[in-house]
Amino acid sequence: MATITLDDYNDVTGKKLVTFKFDGETYRQNKYALMLLDVIKLLDKRKPGVLEKLAAKDFSCNVITVKHPHISTSDGGMRWAWNVKDGIFIEMNLSAAGIMKFIDCLMDEYGEEKSLFSICVVTEETTDDADSDE
């Protein structure tokens, strides 16, 4: 098991998500896309109205190379749009590293300290003796 912070988002490649931690609370989640949804819900609960403002301006996270909105009031232009809240859509067609970058952007937009967020992962083992350590 290893902890990865937003500063080390590229380290998620090939790693299986087990949990994420936000503001001292640990949340069990094994899918990066579902973790993104969970984080958006947590941020929206802490600071209502920010998500709507981001959607109204077709927010795009500039550290992700895709040039279409990542949060919008329309699903047009998104590859895999997910309706997260009453007509607010987020782009879900992102790699694990892209999701970490997106969460990093969201933490900035919500004015949250990046140190409040981390994930716990396991490395995919390729040897037969991977289970012998338990």
Average pLDDT over residues 35-60: 96
Check if the beta carbon of residue 21 is closer than 8 Å to that of residue 120: yes
Among 57, 63, 43, residue whose Cα is nearest residue 110 = 43
pLDDT value at position 65?
A: 60
pLDDT value at position 72?
A: 94
Question: pTM value?
Answer: 0.86
Question: Does position 130 have pLDDT exceeding 50, yes or no?
Answer: no
- 3-class secondary structure, 2: strand
| Residue in the block written with tokens 């140190």 | 115
Stretch (H or E) spanning 6: none
pLDDT value at position 64?
A: 60
